[in-house]
Structures are given as C-alpha cells and as structure tokens.
Amino acid sequence: MTKKSSYWVAFFGVVLPPMIAIVVLMIIWTTVKVISQYPDYILPSPLTVTNAFWENRGEILRSTWLTFLSAIGGLSLSIVVGTSVSILFCQAKWIRRGLFPLAIFLQTVPIVAVAPIVVLWLDEGMIATMFISFLVSVFPIITNTTTGLLNVDNGLYELFRLYDASRFQRLIRLQIPSALPNFVTGLKVASGMSVLGAVVGEFFCATLANKGLGRQIFELKDQAPIMFACIFFSTMLGVATFSVVSWIGERFLLFWDEKKISNL
C-alpha cells in the first residue's frame, strides 16, 4: 500500500465515520428544536450553544483544564493503587476472598452519597475531586488486572516451573507482562470513569480555584446554552482521555500482542 493511499484509508476508516455521526446528530437536534419550538432555556439549538461557548470560551476552557487535572490525578492514583491491590490479590486465594468484597463496595456505593464525606474529610478543592475520581475509576483496573495476573498461559507457567523460578521472578517476568492486555482494557474503562468522577466531584467542591466543568454545570442551571457547552466539553474530555489512554496502551504496552485484531 502506498503512503498516500494509507492516508485515505485512515481518513475514510477513522476520521470520517465519527464526523458523519456528529453531523447526523446535529441535524436531528436542530430538527427537534425547529419542530418542537422549545425555548432556549430548555433546549438551545446547536448554533446557540456554539455562540454561548464562544462568548465564554476563556472560562469554559479553563474549567475543562481543571477537570482534566482532577481526572488525570484520579486516574493516576487508580493506576498506582489498582495495580498494587491486584498484585496483592494474586498472591493468595484467601487475600482475594477477604478483600474482594471491599473492592466491590467501591464499585457499588453511590458516589454522590460518598462525595460529601470525601469533601468533609479532604476539604473542598482539587484533592477531593481527584479522590472522588479515583474512587470511581479504580475498580475496573483492579478487576481486569487481577484477572490478567491470574490467567497466565499454562505452557509459559510450566516453562517457569521447569527453571524453578521464584514467585518474584514469575510475577515480574511472567504474570505482569501477561496481565498487560487486561490492564489496558481496565485502563480504558477507568479513563472514561475518571472524567465522570471528576465532574461529579466538582459538584460538591466549589472553591474558586477549582471551578471545573462539573461546578459550571451545577451553577449554570438557568443558562442552558453555556451549560450545554460545558456538557459537550466534559464529554469531549472523556472521549479524548479514553482515546489517548487507548492509543498509549496499545502502542507502548501491547505492541507484542498476537491476539490483537486490528481489522474488526
């Protein structure tokens, strides 16, 4: 394949489909608006939202940046804590049995119920939003990574037995690399969740220094066009984080993966 034609394939295969989907969505949105004649404070048109964004672009972009920082902070903490917990879990069955219910608790507890407690303990501010983002995003990393660490190819496991490998050798040289595909899957889910957690966290943390997208959405209930623009940006932030994390994961962690199917 020539270089030029591969650019076209990339354009038609990767860029064009989501663009078409967005255009179709805008058409539907505008049509609903025109037909229903809803006022702007209930459903603003895409054009009104765009105008509202442009007029408040400085504020919205600054909020997006703050939310991004909270999400990245939460996600980083999830990666560190999640993988450590997974490594602990794969050491013995009784550890898994004892502590896994606590991990599930993290997943099932309603985050809006816990967030005020977090704010109470950590004070309003970015640290609290980061922590809420962490609480929401750590579970997918724990479950996926633990599964990966435990599902090692039997043939490779026997190879390590053959050379009398220590537990540590087996963990470092076999289990951790084997778990990377699962870890990346967990990371992708967690990356989207971390943005969600940051936005929810900001609902409860209202300092001037930490006025992220969540706080903007919360405060701008009566200014629907700007609120819609903030919602759009928080969504885009989630998509961007997910895409970047997926790309990094597959490019740098899974370059060796034979099972990866790239043409589906």
Residues that bind other proteins (CB under 8 A): 153, 155-156, 158-165, 169, 173-174, 177, 180, 255-258
What is the DSSP code (8-state) at residue 256?
A: T
Q: How far apart, in whole angstroms, are the C-alpha atoms of residue 4 and residue 1?
A: 8
Q: How far is the CB of 163 from other proteins (least distance, A)?
A: 4
Q: How far is the CB of 258 from other proteins (least distance, A)?
A: 4
The alpha carbon of 132 is separated from its chain's Cα centroid by a whole number of angstroms, namely 13
Residue nearer to other proteins on the CB measure, 169 or 243: 169
Residue nearer to other proteins on the CB measure, 93 or 260: 260
Q: How far apart, in whole angstroms, are the C-alpha atoms of residue 153 and residue 174?
A: 9
Residue nearer to other proteins on the CB measure, 108 or 262: 262
Q: How far is the CB of 252 from other proteins (least distance, A)?
A: 12
Residue nearer to other proteins on the CB measure, 122 or 254: 254
Q: How far is the CB of 161 from other proteins (least distance, A)?
A: 6
Q: How far is the CB of 184 from other proteins (least distance, A)?
A: 13
Which residues lie below 8 Å from residue 135, measured CB to CB, with a gap of 6+? 74, 106, 111, 114, 118, 197
Q: How far is the CB of 145 from other proteins (least distance, A)?
A: 16
Residue nearer to other proteins on the CB measure, 97 or 173: 173
Buried/exposed code over 96-120 (b: 16+ C-beta within 10 A; e: otherwise): beeeeeebeebeeeebeebbeebbe
Residue pair 111/197 in contact (Cβ under 8 Å)? The answer is yes
Residue nearer to other proteins on the CB measure, 57 or 161: 161
Q: How far apart, in whole angstroms, are the C-alpha atoms of residue 211 and residue 126?
A: 9
Burial class (CB within 10 angstroms; exposed 0-12, middle 13-18, buried 19+) of 52: buried
Q: How far apart, in whole angstroms, are the C-alpha atoms of residue 109 and residue 135?
A: 10
